Chain A
Amino acid sequence: MADTMATAGAGSSGTRSGGKQSTNPADNYHLARRRTLQVVVSSLLTEAGFESAEKASVETLTEMLQSYISEIGRSAKSYCEHTARTQPTLSDIVVTLVEMGFNVDTLPAYAKRSQRMVITAPPVTNQPVTPKALTAGQNRPHPPHIPSHFPEFPDPHTYIKTPTYREPVSDYQILREKAASQRRDVERALTRFMAKTGETQSLFKDDVSTFPLIAARPFTIPYLTALLPSELEMQQMEETDSSEQDEQTDTENLPLHISTDDSGAEKENTSVLQQNSSLTGSRNGEESLIDNPYLRPVKKPKIRRKKPNPPARLGHFPFCSRACVPFYPIALHSKSKPPNLAFEILCQFIVSFG
């Protein structure tokens, strides 16, 4: 504790030495007791016989007095706790004084001797600690097991956390709009990206960059994608089939294979139609639970196979266009030598084409 007060030194009468107080009220509260100690020291010096004293020596003795009292308190508390108690008793203090080198036997004699001297030093008036301007809210009061001279609890805002956040929007319409706009943005961005990184075709002759179209890659055999079922379809069919009756396990895999026999084509058609109807039947049950049209599962169109032309016994491609058909009978008949050269060229062309 720094004593910033400018005192005139301890007087001979032991009265309180007044001085300029340049400290704020909060410090005064702590310094008031120190000043009392100074007064006490001055009175003790007077009792000893000194007329005056140096300020430094008075300060030294005051500091020693304060340290002595604090040390007695700390040591007595330690001894008390050493024996598993909480309330210090007289024995603790006696042991403390003995440990600090104090002759306890002389204490009663001293007490009687000091009665002769004037007992001064008025008690310290209670100055409460000034409240800070930044307090927010009420501090928690002390629980009963905490003594009253302990410091107060801190302001509640220092340890209470109240998270501030906005409730997330759960309105279906808004969410739906958001999802739709996000999806549109994603699609647009993706198509633009593909147009910029891949090949493009343009609608306008002179302006290439305004509306780029992603260049279409024609497949060599255009009808191949129509023949082969997609992965998704295969998965769906397998899932629904596994959850359905086991009677149709044999015929399930048939529609997935390309039919090779015409005679079996009709059987497959009916089985496929049966399969589709059963699938749709199962899906109808699901659809009844979900009202929302956006949430219904996608219905793929039923695979309808037309009856293939009986004269066209081609073997592999019943979907072949009829353009190929008339060529073969002509080629078959080419065994006889055609008299016409043009006809020969035509036959060769047909063979290379077929």
Chain B
Amino acid sequence: MSNGVYVLPSAANGDVKPVVSSTPLVDFLMQLEDYTPTIPDAVTGYYLNRAGFEASDPRIIRLISLAAQKFISDIANDALQHCKMKGTASGSSRSKSKDRKYTLTMEDLTPALSEYGINVKKPHYFT
């Protein structure tokens, strides 16, 4: 249990080699000091404090901000795929490259989010 992995007793046979892995991000944490995530530490720390989380190590704050960043960028990439699919599906001319005209709209974002289990419904206009 010290390594965080449960070793099966059948491994004694020698057929299966147990995979020993420590906590995944311990090494990464050491390298984290070089990368500065986009979200400043103060902002992430503020929101974590409001949730009751008191960080002892500033690298942990960077880790969390990095994780949140990746979350958003994954969604953005999915939305981009949706946007590209809609563009090329209609069979537009290939000379015209649509790479510079991507606009994030709610029509692209909604299906991307629904894959993550997040359902958003925004009104188009206010009367």
Assess the A45–B52 pair: CB atoms within 8 A.
no
Q: Does A124 contact B (CB under 8 A)?
A: yes
What is the CA–CA distance of A54 and B122 in the complex, to the nearest angstrom?
12
Contacts A73-B51, A73-B52 hold; do A48 and B76 have CB atoms under 8 A apart?
yes
Q: Could you give, for residues 59-103 of chain B, a 1 whenever the CB lies within 8 Å of some chain A CB and a 0 otherwise?
A: 010011111111111011101100000000000000000011111
Q: Does A97 contact B (CB under 8 A)?
A: yes
Residues in A neighbouring B101, C-beta threshold 8 A: 51
Residue among B42, B60, B76 making CB contact with A88, cutoff 8 Å: B60
Residue among B38, B71, B99, B118 making CB contact with A49, cutoff 8 Å: B99
Residues in A neighbouring B38, C-beta threshold 8 A: 40, 43-44, 114, 119-121
Q: Could you give, for residues 24-51 of chain B, a 1 whenever the CB lies within 8 Å of some chain A CB and a 0 otherwise?
A: 1110110110011111111110111111
Residues in A neighbouring B42, C-beta threshold 8 A: 33, 123-124
Measured CB to CB, the closest approach of chain A to B2, in angstroms, equals 12
Give chain B's interface residue range (CB within 8 Å of chain A): 35 or more
What is the CA–CA distance of A123 and B75 in the complex, to the nearest angstrom?
25
Assess the A69–B120 pair: CB atoms within 8 A.
no
Residue among B50, B66, B116 making CB contact with A111, cutoff 8 Å: B66
Give chain A's interface residue range (CB within 8 Å of chain B): 35 or more
Assess the B69–A40 pair: CB atoms within 8 A.
yes
Q: Does B7 contact A (CB under 8 A)?
A: no
What is the CA–CA distance of A45 and B105 in the complex, to the nearest angstrom?
12
* Interface segment, one of A99-107, A156-164, A166-174, A208-216: A99-107
Residues in B neighbouring A33, C-beta threshold 8 A: 42-43, 46-47
Which one of A43, A69, A110 has the highest number of Cβ atoms from chain B below 10 Å of its Cβ?
A: A69
Residue among B46, B49, B67, B102 making CB contact with A102, cutoff 8 Å: B67
A–B Cβ pairs within 8 angstroms, 30 of them: A36-B39, A40-B69, A41-B72, A44-B73, A47-B76, A52-B103, A52-B104, A54-B105, A60-B120, A61-B109, A65-B68, A68-B71, A69-B65, A72-B53, A72-B68, A74-B52, A88-B60, A90-B60, A97-B67, A101-B116, A104-B24, A107-B66, A107-B70, A110-B69, A111-B28, A111-B32, A115-B35, A119-B37, A121-B38, A121-B39
